Structure 1
Amino acid sequence: MANRVFVVGESQRSVVRSNTTAYGGVATTELVCDGTGPTVVLLHGIYDRAQTWQAVLERLAAAGRRAVAVNLPPLHRRRVGEPILPALDSFVAAVVRANASTEGVVLVGNSMGAGLTLRAVLDPSLPIRAGIPIAVPGFGYTGFASLGVGPAGLPESVLFRMRAPRRLIRTKLAARAGAGFLTVPGRALPEGTVEHFVELFAGEPLGGFLAAGRALLREFDAGYPPGKSSAPLLFVHGRRDRLIVYTAAIRAARRYPSAKVRILAGSAHCPQLDDPDTTTELILAFADNAGRAA
């Protein structure tokens, strides 16, 4: 794979614009850059936001490609026991259909978004040209994640009752520590990330977030829809991920024999933050190869 040079400046940052819209009747905001080729649709992880893709969007803009990073519906306000994935699947399907031209879309997701990407690719009714799950859940977790909200963690009903001092949660130090699990140590987070987590977690009881996270992983662990992928798949994972073991990508690829795997040695849970150049190059190269194959 030839390395591309992405020259990112104010011109690219200015063309990444924010829209208020709705998909499937659900209001949301999204970040968009215009360009040619199939639309690259970007899905974030749990409690994250579309801004996690800002650096990738700037590079896609520099490459002249159209892309959309959408804010997914919140999870923490659901009732205990209420399924999560059906509503998210419906929302993602609406996003894909709305952004698909005759060329379809290239669907890319990180963490929770990776699981949703894989589920969407397994739906033959959706116009997806290629799917790129990054840090896919459901195929293995680190010890830390398992003890917290993973398969070995506490039941959802117990987590829902947990509380933490609001004064502690409101501190930037606590938010920065939590966000630190997403990237390699010392990596600068996107502007506004810490403030986002402070506002999010300080607004409502901690238990709701923990319970929803535990329930979501349980639904992913129950397995993905049966059938063959309707589009080429590339599983990407950061070797330094502290939440989902990087071997999850290898296990996932074994289930879908035509899938490819790329392990990024210098990245953690969010390669789009740690290495946006390589992440963008993987997206473009895999999308172009899928287009030629089609």
Structure 2
Amino acid sequence: MRARIRRERRTYAGYSTRCLVVDGTGPPFLLLHGYTDSADAWRLLLLELARRGRAAVAIDMPSHGHADSVSSDRPGLEQLVDCAAAAADDLGPGTIVVGNSLGGTVALLVAERQGSLGAVVPIGPAAFAHPIWLRFSLQPVSNAIMRITPRILQLPPYLATAFAAKMAPSAIPTYLSHVLRATNHKRLRTLADGLATEAVDPYNLSRITAPVTLVWGTRDRMALNSGAKILLTAIPDARYIPLRGVGHTPQQQAPARVADILCDLRARTHLSVLAPPAPTNPTDRPADPGPLHGTDNP
């Protein structure tokens, strides 16, 4: 039977949003996209999970896709976390939260709040290590400059070109139609101005009690995988899985490999409920996780 993605409208923490859903068994995966993206970023992975009979839900986070916008009276990042945490609560105990880029940041922040998660899987998470050009691009831009600068040179269209170049070809049209729409352009720009300060070292990783599996493409140019050392130092029990030759969006560039990781993780999570924790396997994460930088060889 052909895998099918279902669209639903749901409300989490007061934010109405679009969800892409695949039915299946076991604790579900909650999938959180990156900045300027939407739930559509997960379509290839959703199809992989559906073919394997695994339940998953991808949501449009506030100010993205077809979701409500964040409000101006509170930090935007906090509102993204509120929405994602409410979605995890709705899906129930044991939910595995998976996030890419900004979504990886949000996934970790949700895990800091909630102890009932089955696991958390940040994929190339933001706010650890970024190239200089991206740090400069995300700095707040004054209203005066915004008025005189041609729209195509402003964020997010400026970043859209860089982001789209790293995507699976099938994902590019949907992404660009979303990010270049005038209403989305304005609210994404507003969100970016807040994130430039809110996402600077937002973590308190010692609060996380859920198992952490860190996935990072060795050719990620947006969130440099040198940032893995920071997370692995803070969470010594975390598993680290480098994806050789893969860039910033593994769920699009290597969906089958990501699905393998997630399905193996869910099997581990299920077994941990049935039996006492086994001794840490030293092969889960080597003492030296290998080359952690943005320009390593394939």
Match among 30, 35, 57 for residue 68 of structure 1: 57
Match among 114, 130, 133 for residue 141 of structure 1: 130
Cα distance change on mapping 1:118 and 1:223 into 2, 3 Å: same
Is the counterpart of residue 239 in structure 1 residue 202 in structure 2? no
Query: What is the identity, as a one-letter code, of the residue corresponding to 1:95?
Result: A
Between the two proteins, what is the percent identity of the paired residues?
Answer: 26
**Cα contact 2:179–2:185 (8 A) shared by 1:** no
| Partner-residue secondary structure (3-state), 1:74 | coil
Distance 1:17 1:243 in 2: 30
Q: Once the 2 structures are TM-superposed, how far is the Cα of residue 231 of structure 1 from its aligned partner? A: 0.8
**Cα contact 1:110–1:134 (8 A) shared by 2:** yes
Q: Once the 2 structures are TM-superposed, how far is the Cα of residue 226 of structure 1 from its aligned partner? A: 5.2
Distance 1:58 1:117 in 2: 21
| Partner-residue secondary structure (3-state), 1:128 | coil
Distance 1:160 1:46 in 2: 24
Cα distance change on mapping 1:181 and 1:147 into 2, 3 Å: farther
| Partner-residue secondary structure (3-state), 2:197 | helix
Query: What is the identity, as a one-letter code, of the residue corresponding to 2:2?
Result: S
Distance 1:281 1:234 in 2: 13
Cα distance change on mapping 1:182 and 1:217 into 2, 3 Å: farther
Query: What is the identity, as a one-letter code, of the residue corresponding to 1:74?
Result: S
Q: Once the 2 structures are TM-superposed, how far is the Cα of residue 279 of structure 1 from its aligned partner? A: 0.9
Query: What is the identity, as a one-letter code, of the residue corresponding to 1:92?
Result: A
Counterparts of 1:57-96 in structure 2, within 5 Å, are: 57-74=46-63, 82-96=74-88
Match among 131, 156, 159 for residue 120 of structure 2: 131
Distance 1:249 1:209 in 2: 27
Distance 1:161 1:264 in 2: 39
Counterparts of 1:98-109 in structure 2, within 5 Å, are: 98-100=90-92, 104-109=94-99
Q: Flag structure 2 segments of 5+ consecutive residues without an equivalent.
A: 274-298
Q: Once the 2 structures are TM-superposed, how far is the Cα of residue 177 of structure 1 from its aligned partner? A: 2.2
Distance 1:211 1:35 in 2: 37
Distance 2:18 2:225 in 1: 31
Match among 169, 184, 188 for residue 188 of structure 1: 169
**Partner of residue 165, structure 1:** 150
| Partner-residue secondary structure (3-state), 1:262 | strand
**Cα contact 1:109–1:117 (8 A) shared by 2:** yes
TM-score (norm: length of structure 2): 0.80
Is the counterpart of residue 282 in structure 1 residue 291 in structure 2? no
**Partner of residue 264, structure 1:** 243
Cα distance change on mapping 1:26 and 1:211 into 2, 3 Å: closer
CA deviations 1:216-240 (Å, max 9, x no partner) are 1432223313534221001111121
Q: Once the 2 structures are TM-superposed, how far is the Cα of residue 135 of structure 1 from its aligned partner? A: 1.1
**Cα contact 1:175–1:194 (8 A) shared by 2:** no
**Partner of residue 34, structure 2:** 45
Runs of 4+ in 1 over 6 A off after TM superposition: 173-176
Cα distance change on mapping 1:267 and 1:160 into 2, 3 Å: farther
**Partner of residue 109, structure 2:** 119
Is the counterpart of residue 11 in structure 1 residue 15 in structure 2? no
Q: Once the 2 structures are TM-superposed, how far is the Cα of residue 53 of structure 1 from its aligned partner? A: 0.4
Query: What is the identity, as a one-letter code, of the residue corresponding to 1:177?
Result: T
Query: What is the identity, as a one-letter code, of the residue corresponding to 1:196?
Result: H
Query: What is the identity, as a one-letter code, of the residue corresponding to 1:218?
Result: T
**Cα contact 2:34–2:101 (8 A) shared by 1:** yes
CA deviations 1:189-236 (Å, max 9, x no partner) are 41522222222xx34666x64453243143222331353422100111
Distance 1:204 1:71 in 2: 12
Q: How many residues align?
A: 266
CA deviations 1:135-191 (Å, max 9, x no partner) are 112211112212211xxxx4x26378524434x479xx97862433544xxx41415
CA deviations 1:88-123 (Å, max 9, x no partner) are 2211111001111xx520110011110011111122
Distance 1:194 1:112 in 2: 18
**Cα contact 2:63–2:184 (8 A) shared by 1:** no
Cα distance change on mapping 1:78 and 1:132 into 2, 3 Å: closer
Q: Flag structure 1 segments of 5+ consecutive residues without an equivalent.
A: 1-9
| Partner-residue secondary structure (3-state), 1:133 | strand
